[in-house]
Amino acid sequence: MFTLLGPSGCGKTTLLRLIAGFYVPDEGEVRFDDRRVNEVPPHERGIGMVFQNYALWPHMTVFDNIAYGLKLQKIASATIAERVGSVLEKVKLGSLGDRYPGQLSGGQQQRVALARALVLNPKILLLDEPLSNLDAKIRISVRAEIRKLQKELGITTVYVTHDQEEALTLSDRIAVFNQGRVLQIGPPRELYERPQSRFVADFIGINNLIDGTVQAADPARKTLTVTTAAGELAALWDERLHPGDTCVLCVRPENAAINAPVDGQNRIKGRIAFAAYLGNSLRYDVELEHGQIFKADIRDPWHHEEFPVGTAVSVSFPASSTVAIAGDR
Amino acid sequence: MRITVQDLTKRFGKNEVVSRISFAIQEGECSPSSDRRAAARPRCCA
Ligand SMILES: Nc1ncnc2c1ncn2[C@@H]1O[C@H](COP(=O)(O)OP(=O)(O)OP(=O)(O)O)[C@@H](O)[C@H]1O
Ligand SMILES: [Mg+2]
């Protein structure tokens, strides 16, 4: 599954509509296999689309909503009944064909919208934030179903979301978008562990961002030495960075430890400013000596005695999980 | 079906909402989670 991920208003729906054919591009082209489709209307593109707001017809039953596109194609009614029945089974709505959308839960409506797209046997499936109206638990189960269905059917799918966690769990590759531009494309793990811009580092998960200047680059030891307001820190080597370059260091809260005994790591002093108990972890806000807040996680809060606010602590993290990004990216 | 988007640009008035976007999506792009993990290993700075 290929996902377009970006904040609200960054152009995701517009891009999906360009691919679907509801908008004509001002420049550039869209190709399906080797065929240029810029001038091909949506209904001739072989796409199925699920819209951000489902767009079901309230006065039609579930069955009729799904059958609508097939009726337009003048397909025999026995065939229509068969295809609608089979797609209803696929999305686990077997017995609800006679209901109206108003009589369904949000999750069920979402599945009707998906069934309506799938019944046309599309070559391409375009999904625009299909889960955004669902509550958290249902969202997780429906997204697992979508992922499974997409694998079974093997349809080329573009999935749009502004939810980075959803993108990480569902996708084979993600394109991160901001202000109409693609900033980085890659598998979830690459985006999470090797962001290539400040925006991606900040948008995907949580990162502590520390500005600095490269002091030394050591390709043999695969490290950079970076001068920052928090002192000299070691980071992963990057061939694009040279001494004198400004950069930003990115450290994830789960890679930082508080009062760890081991040496040979980055270590910064600070004071506990806040503690948030999240159940499966405990997240400290540590105020560093230069005033910046640094987030660090305790991953086993069951066996951790919480530090009171104001406690002086040291935060440490290895160079191998400290990513340096050029300052202008 | 493979989707290729090349330098795609869309403006509403003078507001450029999609700016020179390019990418390609392979046929049915998906892989079993095992090779997904291998494929996902970061390459750029390793
Ligand atoms: N038909 C239109 N005419 C003029 N401006 C538009 C039109 N459609 C969208 N826009 C503008 O283009 C920008 C991108 O809109 P788009 O709907 O693509 O964003 P999005 O990434 O899908 O956001 P969201 O996550 O909120 O759905 C927004 O600033 C929006 O106001
Ligand atoms: Mg949108």
pLDDT tens sequence across A189-229: 999 999 999 999 999 999 999 999 999 999 898 999 999 99
Instruction: Indicate whether A323 pLDDT > 90.
Output: yes
Chain B residue numbers with beta carbons less than 8 Å from the beta carbon of A173 are 25, 29
Q: What would the pLDDT profile of A58-105 be if each residue is shown by its tens digit?
A: 999 999 999 998 998 889 999 999 999 999 988 888 889 999 999 998
A183 CA: distance to closest CA in chain B (Å): 10
CA A19 to centroid of ligand 1, rounded, Å:
15
- Residue B28: its pLDDT value, please? 67
| Interface predicted TM-score (ipTM) of this complex, two decimals | 0.82
Long-range contacts of A218-223 (CB under 8 A, 24+ apart): A223/A319
CA distances A182 to A15, A26, B18, B19, B32, Å, are 11, 17, 9, 9, 26
Contact A110, A142 (CB under 8 A): yes
CA A23 to centroid of ligand 2, rounded, Å:
14
